[in-house]
Amino acid sequence: MALISRVPIFEAATTMARALERVLGHDIILQTGPPSFGPPGPELLPEGTTRCIVLPFTSDIVGEITLVVGERFATAMEASNADADLTVAGAPILLAAAETIEPAIHMSVNADFAGEVSTETLLTSVVGDFAGAAILENEERVAAIIVRVVDDAPAPTGSTAPPRPAATPAMPAPAALGAAPVAVMAPVAVAAPADSAPGITLHEFQPLADGHGGLSEPRSLTLLNDVHMEITAELGRCRLKVRDIVALEPGSVIELDKAAGSPIDVLVNGAIVWHGEVVVVDEEFGIRVSEIVVDDA
């Protein structure tokens, strides 16, 4: 119970309510009911027919985050996406709630493993510690968030406590949802390495040569001689408002930030490398380099 009490269920429910509003439309305004801890019951869920989308999480702990919605909200959520799929609409909402919970209890989620389960399965066929909160519209329960946590950490080495029974999952295996199956491996105890294990010797490698970060000899920069670079000569710049740009027409004069006679900036791949002056070569413009810009960085 100590672990489930760390779940910020009210904040997660509020986050879920805001995400639901974005999916259902701006005319929907939702409130968050008081949090509850304990097995979920009908008093927490929307009245009438309900549907559930479950997002499992793993890491140090295992469990699920469940979004329960009434039939009216379920229909609207399905209509919000081209696939007409409740899971597709509900997965981002569950991920938003998971981001709120994650700082309190470290966990890892994958939206590909989200899926729909029956409300009856949620209420009768799973074990663990639960936290939940109703989501209200005009004092009417229209949705709910339920978080289940199962402490599946292995018993410490040398413990005489009997093994705990495996928890019943609240949703089918990922393969049943169309996702790739995930192999779950039992934890294996690894013995600490001994100071002098028999048959094992340590090998000392020779240090790298001084002045080199690798094993190969440094290569000449001539390998880059044939790389093409873009050179741009910039006469000047200015900033205009959109309305001034739209008002430009043939004959308009744009005032630049360079005074007459100032050197031209020459850029290589967007970085200023030289200053120069404009010249004419065979009836074409050219740049005579007058200064090399040295960048210490």
Task: Write the CA distances from 255 to 204, 229, 237, 261, 275, integer angstroms.
Answer: 69, 29, 8, 14, 20
Q: Could you give the CA distance from residue 142 to residue 281 in angstroms, rounded to a whole number?
A: 78
The answer on pLDDT for 254 being more than 80 is: yes
In this structure, is residue 218 part of a structural domain?
Answer: no
Tally of CB atoms within 10 A around 276? 17
User: Distance between CA 95 and CA 47 in Å, rounded?
Assistant: 25
pLDDT at 109: 86
Sign of the dihedral defined by the CA atoms of residues 69, 119, 114, 129, in that order: positive
Would the pLDDT of 63 be above 60?
yes
Mean pLDDT across 203-230: 63
pLDDT of residue 82: 84
pLDDT value at residue 269: 80
Instruction: Please state, in angstroms and rounded to a whole number, the distance separating the CA atoms of residues 251 and 160.
Output: 93
118 and 233 assigned to the same domain: no
Is residue 42, in this structure, part of any structural domain at all?
Answer: yes
Whether 145 and 11 map to the same domain: the answer is yes
197 within some domain = no
Q: What is the 3-state secondary structure (H, E, C) of 250-293?
A: CCCCCCCCCCCCCCEEEEECCEEEEEEEEEEECCEEEEEEEEEC
SS3 177: helix
Write the pLDDT tens digit of every residue in 65-99: 999 999 988 888 888 888 888 889 889 999 999 99
Any idea which of 146-150, 275-279, 292-296 has the lowest mean pLDDT? 292-296
Number of domains in the chain: 2
pLDDT computed for residue 134 by the predictor = 93
Residue 176 pLDDT > 80: no
Comparing 151 with 292, the larger pLDDT belongs to 292
Are 251 and 118 in the same domain? no
Any domain includes 184: no
As a residue count, the chain comes to 297
Question: What's the pLDDT score for residue 271?
Answer: 84
Q: What is the Cα–Cα distance from 101 to 96, expressed in whole angstroms?
A: 9
Mean pLDDT of 262-266: 86
In a domain, 203, yes or no: no
Same domain (yes/no): 25, 136: yes
> What was the pLDDT predicted at 210?
52
- Quote the Cα angle for 278-283-285, to 5°: 25
Q: Which residues contact 135 (CB under 8 A, 6 or more apart)?
A: 13, 16, 17, 20, 30, 31, 32, 33, 141, 142, 143, 144, 145
User: What was the pLDDT predicted at 192?
Assistant: 47
**147-169, pLDDT tens digit by residue?**
988 864 444 444 444 444 344 44
141 and 235, same domain (yes or no): no
Q: Whole-angstrom Cα distance, residue 276 to residue 265?
A: 7
Question: For residue 15, what are its two tokens?
Answer: 């986050």
Q: Which pair of structure tokens corresponds to residue 166?
A: 């495996």
Q: Do both 13 and 142 map to the same domain?
A: yes
- Only one residue has tokens 């959109």, namely 242
5 falls in which pLDDT band (50, 70, 90)?
Answer: confident
C-beta of residue 62 within 8 angstroms of C-beta of residue 108 = no
Is the pLDDT at 287 greater than 90? The verdict is no
Which of 112, 144, 176 is where one domain is finished? 176
Q: Is the pLDDT at 190 greater than 50, yes or no?
A: no
Contacts of 31 (CB under 8 A, 6+ apart): 17, 135, 136, 137
Three-class secondary structure of residue 203 per DSSP: coil
Q: What is the mean pLDDT of the chain?
A: 77
Q: Check whether 181 has a pLDDT greater than 60.
A: no
The answer to whether residues 54 and 147 belong to one domain is yes
Domain assignment of residue 54, given as a range:
4-153+170-176
Q: Is 183 a domain residue? A: no
Q: What's the CA gap between 55 and 109, in Å, rounded?
A: 7
Q: Is residue 187 part of a domain?
A: no
pTM of the full structure: 0.51
CATH number for position 240: 2.30.330.10
